[in-house]
Structures are given as structure tokens and as C-alpha cells.
Amino acid sequence: MKKQFTVIIEKDEEVDMYVGEVISIPGCHSQGKTIDELMKNMSEVVSLCLEAEEKNMSKIPKFVGVQQIEVTA
């Protein structure tokens, strides 16, 4: 059975790498030099995390969205 997950991607300028995380699965994150490499790595990590979390699959929350907020600092 195929499932879809949302990957949050950030760019770490210090090490020139893309970092990805599936926030609905604790500890599910990876990195890559390119977004394509990151997504390949993420696919492997998600599969491994799902194997480990197989009994808790019903507890994975549904992703709703991402918003940005502007505040005065």
C-alpha cells in the first residue's frame, strides 16, 4: 500500500546541504547535496521509520499545512 507524506525542506547554508523532515514521524529526517538526492534519501528513511512504527501507524497525524508569520523583533 502506498502512502503519501509531506517533507519539510530547509537549506543549511553552513554545510551547503538540503535537510528534510517528515514531522508526522518522530526522528524521520535526512539530508542531501541536491533536492533529488534528499528525496531519494528521504524515501529510504521513511520506509525504515514506517517499519519501526508499524504498530503505531494509526497515531501518525494528518498533515494540514505550513504558514509563514511576520513579527516585529
3-38: per-residue pLDDT in tens?
888 999 999 999 999 999 998 888 899 999 999 999
Query: Residue 58: pLDDT above 90?
Result: no
- Domain ranges in the chain are 8-59
| Joined grid coordinates for residue 70 | 511576520
Instruction: Give the tens place of pLDDT for each residue, 29-50.
Output: 999 999 999 999 999 999 998 8
Say what the pTM is.
0.76
Give pLDDT, residue 63. 75
Give CA–CA dist 25/45, Å, rounded.
10
Amino acid at the residue 22: V
